Copies of this chain bind each other. A is one copy, B any other.
Amino acid sequence: MTGVNEFEQRAAELIEAGRRLYQLGLVPATSGNFSARLTDGRIAITVSGSHKGRLTFDDIMIIDAAGRSLDDRRSSAETGLHLQIYHRFRDAGAVLHPHSVNATLLSRGRRDHLVLTDYELLKAFPGVNTHECAVTVPVFANCQDIPALAAEVDDWMERHEGPVHGYLIGGHGFYTWGATVEDALRHVEAFEFLFDCELRAGGRQRL
């Protein structure tokens, strides 16, 4: 059984995550949304429309594993994308969706996936022990029909062999997750670094 304290602890972590990601420029305006799963399966998640750099406890609500509000408030419009991740990955305890310029520019290109290879920082992801590996990051077309988008993401993950640590949505930032909020933050920092490298290297390669 989950007490009030566990919710408050996760909520405090999401508030702090927002403050950090805003300082890094990754959640401008009211973009982005965050969540953390409690041990009983319920989910603490940011409410719709709040500024992620200045979250308060009032901006974190609670939903059940099916996404139903447990406190009469409206959760993020993209709640379904969080649920897809929690359903598929039993060990996912937190999901973060930042919205950076780098992710936006990379994802607006024509490609349907990105392959990251030969970066030492790939070792920030679980199970990666060497830069000599290839981490695939799928890119999905942006879509306001969240159930359809969640199904497309889930279908890709079903078909894809090998681990996946995050994905891009066209013109819309990226999703990543981890066992804890701290783990998910580490994955955000790693992806943002790698996207920055890819974008800047790509710009030069096209010359």
Contact = CB atoms under 8 A, between A and B. Distances in A.
A192 interface: yes
A70 interface: no
Contacts of A142: 118, 120, 131
A47 B123 CA distance: 16
B101 A196 contact: yes
A25 to B, nearest CB: 8
A180 interface: no
Given A105-B200, A193-B101, A30 B206 contact: no
Contacts of A201: 105, 108
Contacts of A192: 28
Given A200-B101, A201-B108, A28 B118 contact: no
Chain A interface size, as a band, is 35 or more
A190 interface: yes
B118 A189 contact: no
8 contacts: A28-B192, A29-B121, A29-B189, A31-B120, A31-B193, A101-B197, A105-B197, A118-B171
B193 A28 contact: yes
Interface string A162-178: 00000001111100000
A84 interface: no
A6 B204 CA distance: 47
A39 interface: no
Contacts of A108: 118, 201
Given A130-B144, A196-B101, A29 B171 contact: no
Given A142-B131, A186-B51, A207-B203, A171 B28 contact: no
Interface string A104-119: 1100100000000011
